[in-house]
């Protein structure tokens, strides 16, 4: 079985930064596993210019990887299916890897439609915001309008702007009395083709095969062909949920705390990567 001093699960901004920090601190045997074919995580699907000094997500990833040490083993296209107490990770494809220390940097998970009290069947046209971002920015999918976005946080606002730029009328539905998100993203609401409805939620969807309308808590039906759920992100810790808190395990990035800005995830990951190696040397 392959063995590494440090195994990092997740190759987004946090996993990349933790790996570089651990290497800088002196750890010689490191592997980063990611289910996707390339390192970068959620940044790879972010086409907007909100990263670092105004880069897109993919540009920011290229910068992060410029000084990525070639000795760090990257195992891409493999999902970690299980982490055992015996310090073995079971990967897809029947591969297993043992380790001394593990950093979980698996990002976060969106709240899906099924977790919300929304009546009606589940016609085609309903996605989470992150799924739609990936479909549009990585696979060239063009959604049908009009669109309703539930949730006016940063993700909802960024997506509303992108849909509006593509000529799709958007209604953002927010259950709070005002729009969420960073000030720079709230400015995106100045577009005429984006309508914001506050103090409302979506209570029901209609449509046989395809979505045709969403009903608001006010009772109003909004005709739409696309509904995007952008109501929150939860740290992804499924893999380590049953392990308790062993001394060989650390978490960083969005699976530790959801960071609205990438710098927060990176700072935490650098501290984690450095500290892990310090504890191994003792």
Residues of this chain that interact with ligand FAD (CB under 6 A) are 9-15, 33-36, 41-43, 46, 48, 50-51, 79-80, 105-107, 130, 133, 155, 158, 236, 239, 253-254, 259-262, 265
**Who contacts 131 (Cβ-Cβ below 8 Å, separation ≥6)?**
110
Minimum CB distance to ligand FAD, residue 58 (Å): 12
Minimum CB distance to ligand FAD, residue 16 (Å): 7
The backbone torsions φ and ψ at residue 237, rounded to the nearest 5 degrees and listed phi first, read: -125, 20
Nearest CB to ligand FAD, comparing residues 3 and 234: 234
Nearest CB to ligand FAD, comparing residues 211 and 265: 265
Minimum CB distance to ligand FAD, residue 163 (Å): 14
Minimum CB distance to ligand FAD, residue 205 (Å): 23
Nearest CB to ligand FAD, comparing residues 13 and 231: 13
Query: For residues 36 and 44, what is the distance between their CA atoms, to the nearest angstrom?
Result: 10
Nearest CB to ligand FAD, comparing residues 33 and 149: 33
Integer angstrom CA distances of residue 171 from 27, 119, 189: 50, 19, 11
Nearest CB to ligand FAD, comparing residues 197 and 262: 262
Contact status, residue 252 vs residue 276, Cβ threshold 8 Å: no
HSE (CB half, 13 Å, CA atoms) of 251?
A: 19
- Please measure the distance between the N-terminal and C-terminal CA atoms of the chain and give it in whole angstroms: 25
DSSP 112: P
Query: For residues 184 and 190, what is the distance between their CA atoms, to the nearest angstrom?
Result: 11
Minimum CB distance to ligand FAD, residue 204 (Å): 27
Nearest CB to ligand FAD, comparing residues 50 and 146: 50
Q: Given the structure tokens 């289910």, which residue do they identify?
A: 35
**Who contacts 274 (Cβ-Cβ below 8 Å, separation ≥6)?**
21, 22, 24, 25
Minimum CB distance to ligand FAD, residue 55 (Å): 9
């Amino acid at each position: 079985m392959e063995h590494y001093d440090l195994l990092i699960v997740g190759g987004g901004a946090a996993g990349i930064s933790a790996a570089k920090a651990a290497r800088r601190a002196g750890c010689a045997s490191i592997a980063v596993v990611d289910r996707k074919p390339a390192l970068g995580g959620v940044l790879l699907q972010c086409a907007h210019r909100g990263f670092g000094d105004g880069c897109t997500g993919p540009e920011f990833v290229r910068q992060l990887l410029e000084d990525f040490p070639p000795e760090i083993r990257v195992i891409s296209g493999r999902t970690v299916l299980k982490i055992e107490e015996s310090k073995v990770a079971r990967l897809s494809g029947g591969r297993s890897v043992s380790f001394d220390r593990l950093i979980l940097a698996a990002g976060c998970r969106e709240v899906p439609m099924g977790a919300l009290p929304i009546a009606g069947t589940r016609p085609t046209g309903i996605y989470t915001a992150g799924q739609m971002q990936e479909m549009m920015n990585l696979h060239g999918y063009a959604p049908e309008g009009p669109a309703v976005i539930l949730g006016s946080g940063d993700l909802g606002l960024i997506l509303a702007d992108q849909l509006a730029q593509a000529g799709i009328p958007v209604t953002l539905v927010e259950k709070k009395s005002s729009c969420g998100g960073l000030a720079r993203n709230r400015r995106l609401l100045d577009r005429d083709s984006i309508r914001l409805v506050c103090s409302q939620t979506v209570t029901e969807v209609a449509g046989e095969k395809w979505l045709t309308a969403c009903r608001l808590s006010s009772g109003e039906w909004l005709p739409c062909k696309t509904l995007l759920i952008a109501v929150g992100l939860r740290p992804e810790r499924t893999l380590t949920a049953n392990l308790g808190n062993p001394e060989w395990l650390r978490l960083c990035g969005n699976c530790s705390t959801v960071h609205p800005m990438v710098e927060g995830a990176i700072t935490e990951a650098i501290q984690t990567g450095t500290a892990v190696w310090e504890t191994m040397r003792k």
